[in-house]
Amino acid sequence: MSGPRGKSCTISNWMKCTLNRDRGSICKDKDPDVYYQYGIAYASLSMANGAGLKGASTPFWTIIGIIAVRYIFLPISGILIVKGATHLGLVQVDPLYQFILLLQYALPPAMSIGTIAQLFGAGESECSVMMLWTYALASIAVTLWSTYFMWLVS
């Protein structure tokens, strides 16, 4: 497939076409959406490789510690709290209700944390690194914990 001005299409050409799309793009190809789609793919790959996070000074063991607390200790404490509240009669014995309460302890952090960091202008890069890793591991953690929670409340 030939790119702008007869050149072969590379990622840099796709990015140029994507960025110049609204300003009389140099891309005279029949399908400019192809350049736009590859520009999005390039941005996604850059984000997955950690582009823009190189300045973050979060130590490796801090990341591991936060992930361990977030996905191991917090769900265990949630089990103790919900089961204790059920035993004391503060929570209904409805399994679906208990499952939803337990699931709240295993979910990744909300986006409001990033908004608060941006609002105060402190710790933005550290918050970005933490959000990246907690959401990257969320699919595994939420799957395992939700399976265990379903077994626990049934």
Q: What is the pLDDT of residues 83-117, one digit of tens each?
A: 999 999 999 999 999 999 999 999 988 877 778 88
136/77 same-domain check: yes
pLDDT at 123: 78
Residue 46 has what pLDDT? 54
Q: Are residues 109 and 74 part of one domain?
A: yes
- Residues 44, 68, 109, 145: what is their CA dihedral angle, to the nearest 10 degrees? 100
More confident residue, 137 or 121: 137
Tell me: pLDDT of 137 over 50. Answer: yes
- The rounded distance, in Å, linking the Cα atoms of 114 and 128 is 7
Residue 98: inside a domain, yes or no? yes
pLDDT at residue 1 greater than cutoff 50: no
Are 137 and 96 found together in one domain?
Answer: yes
Count of residues making up the chain: 154
Mean pLDDT of the 25-40 span: 54
Does any domain span residue 55?
A: no
Together in a domain, 43 and 96: no
Summary mean pLDDT of the chain? 76
Distance between CA atoms of residues 10 and 109, nearest Å: 37
What's the token pair of residue 124? 């933005």
Kindly state whether residue 135 falls inside one of the protein's structural domains: yes
Q: Which domain holds residue 23?
A: 4-48
Question: Within this chain, do residues 34 and 81 fall inside the same structural domain, yes or no?
Answer: no
Predicted confidence band of residue 144 (pLDDT cuts 50, 70, 90): very high
If one counts the domains in the chain, the total is 2
**143/80 same-domain check:** yes
Q: Is residue 54 part of a domain?
A: no
- What pTM was computed for the model? 0.62
- The answer for residues whose C-beta is within 8 angstroms of residue 153's C-beta and 6 or more apart is 95, 96, 98, 99, 102
Does the pLDDT of residue 60 top 60, yes or no?
A: yes
| More confident position, 118 or 139 | 139
Output phi, psi for 78, to 5 deg: -65, -40
Same-domain check for residues 80 and 128:
yes
% pLDDT > 90, the chain: 38
- Asked if 31 and 75 sit in the same domain, the reply is no
Give domain status of residue 126, yes or no.
yes
Q: Does residue 42 sit in the same domain as residue 113?
A: no
- 53 lies in a domain? no
Q: Is residue 12 part of a domain?
A: yes
Region 6-31 average pLDDT:
51
